[in-house]
């Protein structure tokens, strides 16, 4: 069955509300619209289950069961064990806690690798380990293309390197990195790999188990869900890293790196992301299949739709004199997160698009290091037009013709 955009958009209340009517949304990489399944679960939790979970009375039992369901179903879709998946307030908070854990495990003589392609969330907390005597090595992008090349990583690795942190996809350059290959290189050198999947997962739930990422992070609020950070940690590593939670929670793998009490309602509502994936699978003719296979089939559908809309945009933008397109011009190699360096500052161009009913963002998107690395002044910033599978061809047409007029 071909991708049914009407069905897809019907799953998002934002497309039906008068408050947003006529607005074309192009800041999805900042935070996506929320699917109906998540909104419904959140509403049900707040109205029917807003009690302390995991107690013996019925409302509480249901609250706890829904929180467990979210972990179980998302873990199965990502190809990891249920207790290898945990929730935190955001990806930034999750990497902060993980960095504290690594600080407790590593010491003098140890080294880690970070990139200059990452959003600050998977960079700054790790770089601060230098204050604890850990050597921090920077895997730098190619200054011309913005790509992370594996030869440059290999040149940084030796038996002192214990951890390699890198993005699945940059939030300004858009390029999709070969996570499996990079994890293999890190593992061969005796290091573990921490992958920021925030800019990738809205475009398809990956098989984290098969990719080989020891830690994989993403943000539910950019993946059609509530404002939560989700991370997977491979059991062996999670058990080895020092516990960051209350001492009595240290024996439970999924609690070890969540020092904050969980946001019960939002954790429970994350099961709605799995509902949404299942609804797309079912509607597009998917039969009986295990969760990971359903997620893979839906990811393929989403990507095909995005690539079909993205390639003409890239073809249009790549040769314009007034525009510098960041990242690859081949849609298959990147996410539809399109950052443009223009004569006008990024924020100013976003403001000029607003009267055309195009909701876009401008600035540095907390990606100051990658922007500077490819020669864009972060203070000047970029215009970012980011979309996902639910974006329609008409919305793309609106954004491109508005941009055309303004240029
Ligand atoms: C690639 C990437 N990583 C990490 C983050 C931080 O995520 P959070 O807001 O959940 O801390 C963002 C947010 O924009 C991002 O785009």
> How far is ligand 1, taken at its centre, from the CA of residue 227, in Å?
11
Question: What is residue 260's predicted lDDT score, i.e. its pLDDT?
Answer: 85
User: What is the average pLDDT across 346-357?
Assistant: 98
From 29, 32, 92, the mutation candidate for ligand 1 (largest count of ligand atoms within 8 A of CB) is: 92
From the CA of 121, give the closest atom in ligand 1. 4
From the CA of 199, give the closest atom in ligand 1. 1
> How far is ligand 1, taken at its centre, from the CA of residue 198, in Å?
6
> How far is ligand 1, taken at its centre, from the CA of residue 173, in Å?
14
> How far is ligand 1, taken at its centre, from the CA of residue 283, in Å?
31
- Nearest residue CA, atom 13 of ligand 1? 30
Measured distance between the N- and C-terminal CA atoms of the chain, rounded to whole angstroms: 39
From the CA of 366, give the closest atom in ligand 1. 14
**Token couple for 107:** 């010491």
Confidence class of residue 1 from pLDDT cuts 50, 70 and 90?
low
Residues 6+ apart with CB under 8 A from 355: none
Q: Is the pLDDT of residue 2 over 90?
A: no
From the CA of 196, give the closest atom in ligand 1. 3
Contact predicate 171/198, CB 8 Å: yes
From the CA of 365, give the closest atom in ligand 1. 14
- Nearest residue CA, atom 7 of ligand 1? 91
> How far is ligand 1, taken at its centre, from the CA of residue 219, in Å?
7
From 89, 166, 199, 339, the mutation candidate for ligand 1 (largest count of ligand atoms within 8 A of CB) is: 199
User: What is the average pLDDT across 67-78?
Assistant: 98
Q: Is the pLDDT of residue 229 over 80?
A: yes
Counting residues of the chain whose pLDDT is more than 90, the rounded percentage is: 99
From 91, 123, 171, 222, the mutation candidate for ligand 1 (largest count of ligand atoms within 8 A of CB) is: 91
- Nearest residue CA, atom 14 of ligand 1? 30
Contact predicate 117/164, CB 8 Å: no
pTM of the model as a whole: 0.98
Note the pLDDT tens digit of each residue in 239-292.
Answer: 999 999 999 999 999 999 999 889 999 999 999 999 999 999 999 999 999 999
Q: Is the pLDDT of residue 363 over 70?
A: yes
Q: Which residues contact ligand 1 via a Cβ below 6 A?
A: 90-92, 119, 121-122, 167, 171, 196, 198-199, 219, 229, 366
User: What is the average pLDDT across 22-38?
Assistant: 98
**Token couple for 157:** 């690795």
Q: Is the pLDDT of residue 385 over 90?
A: yes
Q: Is the pLDDT of residue 336 over 70?
A: yes
> How far is ligand 1, taken at its centre, from the CA of residue 93, in Å?
10
Confidence class of residue 138 from pLDDT cuts 50, 70 and 90?
very high
Domains annotated on the chain, with CATH:
5-35+291-406 (3.90.1150.10), 42-274 (3.40.640.10)
From the CA of 227, give the closest atom in ligand 1. 10
């Amino acid at each position: 069955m071909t991708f049914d955009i009407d069905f897809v958009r019907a799953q998002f209340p934002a497309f039906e509300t008068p408050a947003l009517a006529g607005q074309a949304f192009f800041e999805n990489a900042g935070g996506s619209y929320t699917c109906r399944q998540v909104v419904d679960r959140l509403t049900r939790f707040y109205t029917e289950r807003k009690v302390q979970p995991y107690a013996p009375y019925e409302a509480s039992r249901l609250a706890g069961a829904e929180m467990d369901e979210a972990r179980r179903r998302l873990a199965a879709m990502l190809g990891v064990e249920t207790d290898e998946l945990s929730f935190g307030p955001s990806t930034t908070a999750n990497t902060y806690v993980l960095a504290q854990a690594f600080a407790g495990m590593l010491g003098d003589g140890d080294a880690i690798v970070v990139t200059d392609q990452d959003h600050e969330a998977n960079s700054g907390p790790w770089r601060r380990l230098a204050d604890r005597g850990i050597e921090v090595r920077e895997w730098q992008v190619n200054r011309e293309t913005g790509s992370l090349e594996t030869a440059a990583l290999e040149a940084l690795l030796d038996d002192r390197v214990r951890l390699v942190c890198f993005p699945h996809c940059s939030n300004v350059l858009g390029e999709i990195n070969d996570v499996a290959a990079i994890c293999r290189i890190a593992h061969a050198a005796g290091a573990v790999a921490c992958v920021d999947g925030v800019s990738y997962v809205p475009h398809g739930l990956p098989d984290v188990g098969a990719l080989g990422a020891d830690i994989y992070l993403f943000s539910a609020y950019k993946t059609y869900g509530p404002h939560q950070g989700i991370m997977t940690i491979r059991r062996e590593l999670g058990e080895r890293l020092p516990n960051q939670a209350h001492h009595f929670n240290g024996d439970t793998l999924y609690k070890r790196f969540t020092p904050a009490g969980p946001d019960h309602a939002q954790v429970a509502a994350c099961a709605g992301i799995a509902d949404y994936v299942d609804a797309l699978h079912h509607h597009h003719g998917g039969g009986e299949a295990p969760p990971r296979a359903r997620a893979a089939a839906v990811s393929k559908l989403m990507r095909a739709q995005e690539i079909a809309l993205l390639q003409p945009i890239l073809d249009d933008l790549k040769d314009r004199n007034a525009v510098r397109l960041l990242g690859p011009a081949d849609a298959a190699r990147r996410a539809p997160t399109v950052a443009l360096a223009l004569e006008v500052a990024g924020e100013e161009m976003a403001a000029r698009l607003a009267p055309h009913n195009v909701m876009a963002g401008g600035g540095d998107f907390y990606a100051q290091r990658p922007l500077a690395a490819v020669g864009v002044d972060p203070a000047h910033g970029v215009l970012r037009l980011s979309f996902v599978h639910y974006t329609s061809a008409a919305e793309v047409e609106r954004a491109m013709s508005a941009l055309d007029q303004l240029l």
